[in-house]
């Protein structure tokens, strides 16, 4: 996305552009900025007081994880226009405070993706040929040639759980070994997967077919401990499990049991639930190759992180081009005031419909009615996509980078404006085209009720978006509402509101759960939903949290 050049409107800069690099970076990063004729103050380990003083006339700031960029620091930098994080996480940056001051925050995601992909392949080879065990035996003076017969990667099936930048890098390298690559990623389109020569499968299909299972998924509420005892039992007997993503994706105790029983043949692990690991049982197993979270730690990756970060600063300050942004773009105050209530509505609609989708999303269509048919609605597009993707991705999705996230996953985004009069002054419609069909939701802002759904899959219904909901689609016949109420009551689930809509194809219900009750706070397990789904008249029952 290209924004207005921050330096536009003045032909003569009253002071030289100054960039402060507060943490250690390769010299190439500072060199790239000095080529612009800018003043670069690159000093690591300076005191807090020194940094506050040095930022008084700074236009840009580059940090890694050591420097805490808080509200006090931002207040000391009245000219600061951009903060660049040399890395992915921005936990050490007060993004909200930066946004309030109109300061752009960017990061450098994916700069170490090649390093992580190569490390993943190294772990596969180490597991297949028992490299670590052979090395240990040799160092102990043992010649264990007959005991360490390995397996080839050629002809084996590699299952990638997550097909982002790292997953795609692993797929490319695995094909060079002659492996058949399959993947599970609900946010990757079939078209993009075909271009990568990767077959998309469900998670269970992937586990039953793969000789090697490699994890490249983000850590979310859905993916935490996704490989528990139940999922590990679904893996092909003797499969090798590799994790260079997030340690919390695996239930380590269950993995120990699965390896000891032979269900899992071995594991290559670079990340752990607790780092450094407290329980050494897992890494002590001879079938496990463990490394101390070093997949991204290469000289090349560090160089690339530095140059990508510096390039992001240069492109924004010199050309007004925003890349890898993690906060809101600069917008006229009038536009922000006009759109802000609808940005919230758009994000909630995206979050709502994302949790109803069961197939791979191929197209996101956004349509505006009423007063929303005029003006620049790009923040609304970003908000819908942010709500859609943030339910699955751990990487930061914002109004600025949401389109690029969609593009990277092969998801088309279509906008349209309808002059057709509706019953609402401003109406926003979001439709998903997925591999399992279409989903369609419309919403509006109510003066007293806030953001609300007014239509779901063509059925008129009015329900609030905030909170925890059970969404039910059923045949329009007597007794269904009573049956649902009885089931929820038996499960000690209190109903806050019950919205019902009826159409030619059947009925739709959005049941809001009372979060003030203990029953509303606890997780609604699949058992309750399965009970609802077992009712003959109910076509589907899904849980949505906003």
CA distances from 396 to 83, 216, 402 (A): 15, 16, 9
Our answer to whether residue 293 is catalytic in this structure is: yes
* Number of other residues whose CB lies within 10 A of the CB of residue 48: 11
Angle between helices 113-128 and 131-139 (to 10 degrees): 70
**Who contacts 200 (Cβ-Cβ below 8 Å, separation ≥6)?**
182, 183, 184, 185, 188, 190, 193, 360
CA 98, CA 86: separation in Å to the nearest integer? 17
CA distances from 532 to 67, 461, 495, 514 (A): 51, 20, 15, 18
CA 134, CA 126: separation in Å to the nearest integer? 10
Bridge partners of 277, per DSSP, are none
Element of type H or E holding 439: strand 437-446
Phi, psi of 200, deg, nearest 5: -85, 135
Bridge partners of 290, per DSSP, are 269
CA 191, CA 178: separation in Å to the nearest integer? 22
> Which one of the listed residues 225, 293, 533, 539 is annotated catalytic?
293
Our answer to whether residue 180 is catalytic in this structure is: no
Q: Which of 465, 204, 471, 478 is nearest to 348 (CA)?
A: 465
CA 346, CA 352: separation in Å to the nearest integer? 10
Three-state DSSP state, 472? strand
CA distances from 500 to 271, 345, 462 (A): 46, 21, 8
Our answer to whether residue 347 is catalytic in this structure is: no
> Which one of the listed residues 246, 338, 409, 473 is annotated catalytic?
246
Q: Which of 118, 114, 98, 115 is nearest to 106 (CA)?
A: 98
> Which one of the listed residues 275, 477, 490, 526 is annotated catalytic?
275
SS3 for 253-292 is: HHHHHHHHHCCEEEEEECCCCCCCCCCCHHHHCCCEEECC
Q: Which of 320, 318, 322 is nearest to 37 (CA)?
A: 318
CA 379, CA 191: separation in Å to the nearest integer? 27
Class of residue 431 by CB neighbours under 10 A (exposed 0-12, middle 13-18, buried 19+): middle
Residue 527 DSSP code: H
Q: In what order do the strands lie in the sheet with 199-200?
A: 199-200, 180-184, 157-161, 212-215, 239-243, 264-269, 288-290
Catalytic residues: 246, 275, 293
């Amino acid at each position: 996305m290209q924004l207005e050049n921050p330096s536009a409107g003045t032909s003569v800069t009253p002071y030289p552009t100054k960039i402060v690099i507060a943490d250690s970076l390769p010299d190439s990063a500072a060199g790239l900025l000095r080529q612009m004729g800018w003043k670069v103050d690159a000093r690591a380990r300076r005191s807090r007081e020194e940094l506050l003083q040095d930022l008084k006339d700074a236009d840009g700031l580059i940090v890694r994880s050591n420097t805490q960029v808080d509200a006090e620091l931002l207040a000391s930098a009245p000219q600061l226009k951009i903060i660049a994080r040399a890395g992915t996480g921005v936990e050490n940056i007060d993004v909200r405070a930066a946004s309030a001051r109109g300061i752009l925050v960017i990061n450098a995601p994916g700069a170490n993706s090649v390093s992580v992909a190569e490390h993943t392949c190294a772990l596969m080879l180490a597991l297949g040929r028992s490299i670590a065990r052979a090395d240990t035996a040799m160092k102990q003076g043992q010649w264990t040639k007959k005991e360490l017969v390995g397996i080839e990667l050629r002809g084996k099936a590699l299952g990638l759980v997550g097909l982002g930048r790292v997953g795609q890098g692993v797929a490319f390298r695995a094909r060079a070994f002659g492996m058949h690559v399959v993947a599970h990623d609900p946010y990757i389109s079939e078209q993009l997967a075909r271009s990568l020569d990767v077959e998309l499968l469900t998670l269970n299909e992937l586990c039953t077919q793969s000789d090697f299972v490699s994890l490249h998924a983000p850590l979310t509420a859905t993916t935490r401990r996704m490989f528990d005892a139940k999922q590990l039992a679904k893996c092909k007997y003797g499969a090798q499990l590799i994790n260079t993503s997030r340690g919390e994706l695996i239930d380590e105790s269950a993995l120990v049991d699965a390896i000891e029983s032979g269900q899992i043949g071995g594991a290559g692990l670079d990340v752990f639930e607790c780092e450094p690991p407290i329980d050494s049982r897992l890494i002590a197993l001879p079938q496990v190759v463990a490394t101390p979270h070093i997949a991204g730690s290469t000289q090349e990756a560090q160089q690339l992180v530095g140059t990508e970060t510096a390039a992001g600063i240069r492109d924004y300050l010199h050309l007004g081009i925003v890349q890898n942004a993690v906060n809101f773009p600069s917008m006229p105050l009038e536009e922000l005031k006009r759109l802000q209530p609808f940005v919230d509505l758009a994000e909630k609609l995206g979050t709502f419909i994302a949790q109803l989708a069961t197939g791979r999303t191929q197209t996101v269509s956004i349509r505006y009615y009423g007063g929303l048919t005029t003006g620049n609605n790009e923040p609304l597009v970003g908000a819908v996509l942010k709500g859609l993707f943030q339910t699955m991705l751990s990487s930061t999705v914002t109004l600025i980078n949401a389109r690029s996230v969609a593009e990277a996953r092969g998801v088309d985004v279509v906008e349209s404006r309808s002059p057709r009069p509706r019953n609402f002054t401003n109406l926003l419609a979001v439709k998903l085209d997925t591999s399992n069909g279409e989903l369609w939701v419309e919403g509006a802002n109510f003066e007293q009720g806030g953001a609300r759904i007014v239509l779901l899959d063509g059925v008129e219904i009015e329900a609030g978006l905030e909170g925890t909901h059970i969404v039910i689609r059923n045949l329009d016949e007597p007794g269904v509402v009573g049956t649902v109420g009885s089931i929820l009551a038996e499960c000690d689930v209190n109903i806050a509101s019950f919205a019902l809509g009826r159409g030619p194809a059947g009925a739709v219900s959005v049941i809001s759960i009372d979060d003030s009750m203990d029953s509303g706070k606890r997780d609604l397990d699949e058992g309750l939903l399965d009970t609802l789904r077992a009712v003959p008249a109910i076509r589907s029952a899904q849980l949505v949290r906003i």
